[in-house]
Amino acid sequence: MDPFVGEIRVFPFGFTPKGWAPCNGQLLQISTNTALFAILGTYYGGNGRDNFALPDLQGRVPVHVGKNIPLGSMAGVANHTLTVNEMPMHTHQLAASSETADQISPAGNAWADTPYTPYAPPSANVTMNAGAIANAGGSQPHNNMQPFLALNFCIAITGIYPPRG
């Protein structure tokens, strides 16, 4: 059975069959691909005067068009770094000790359970040790992709012009 011009098929082999092109976003000349341009237009890119683009499915998952998802739209990212606003509200444990505070400077990385009255008054505004409340996270991007199997998506550049119905 001959394919429809513009039909996309998935192939399990690593080459593009004759009469097909890889779905890699490449630009094609309108003058030599008038039937395919009549179907695709510039939904996937191109200037619409000399060229148009094929769909680019490299590293992407196809999604059916729908409300707020127009034909040719692309969204999502492969890697993402969370921002503070994206994290759920949470608290961190405070490092504390049941020992008596016996130094003016909090050098033990922890708050003391029992205050200590030194012979001299304590210094005002003493900075806590950095380990008293540790930072969380490393601000590094993480992989944001669902499990996948890479296959070869190709689009028919020759075939039967699809009837509208």
If one counts the domains in the chain, the total is: 1
- Cβ count near 20 (within 10 Å): 21
- The pTM assigned to this predicted structure is 0.72
24 within a domain of the structure (yes/no): yes
Tokens representing 104 are: 């003016």
pLDDT at residue 110, rounded to an integer = 65
The CATH number of the domain holding residue 161 is 3.90.1340.10
Task: Kindly report the backbone phi and psi dihedral angles of residue 30, in degrees, each rounded to the nearest multiple of 5, phi listed first.
Answer: -65, -40
Where is pLDDT greater, at 49 or 145?
Answer: 49
pLDDT in tens, 131-161: 666 677 778 888 888 899 999 999 999 999 9
pLDDT at residue 10, rounded to an integer = 98
How does residue 87 score in pLDDT terms, banded at 50, 70 and 90? confident
Q: Which domain holds residue 162?
A: 1-60+151-165
22 within a domain of the structure (yes/no): yes
